[in-house]
Amino acid sequence: MTVFNFGSINIDHVYQVERFVRPGETLASQAYRRVLGGKGANQSIALARAGASVRHVGAIGQDDHWITQELAALGVDISAIRTVTGVSGHA
């Protein structure tokens, strides 16, 4: 049985900082990571990691096929992900 999951797919930008920034302050980040995000994509990844056969249904922008490469590498069927005009969601 295959689980069809309909949901958002985003690129999350994660910055590691020494501490929380204070009002009016600027901190340099110590590290940066780009990771998959979006509630729907996160659910599909969790299902795949738990051993389920999962097909994600959603859309990404034409800017970055890294998303589908990562999802496929994590065991998510990407055959129902469509590429649309514009950019993918970022958070």
pTM of the model: 0.84
Tens of pLDDT along 8-21? 999 999 999 999 99
What order of strands is seen across the sheet that includes strand 89-90? 31-37, 10-16, 89-90
Query: 1-56 pLDDT, tens per residue?
Result: 999 999 999 999 999 999 999 999 999 999 999 999 999 999 999 999 999 999 99
Cα separations (Å) of 69 from 10, 16, 31, 62, 65?
13, 25, 23, 14, 6
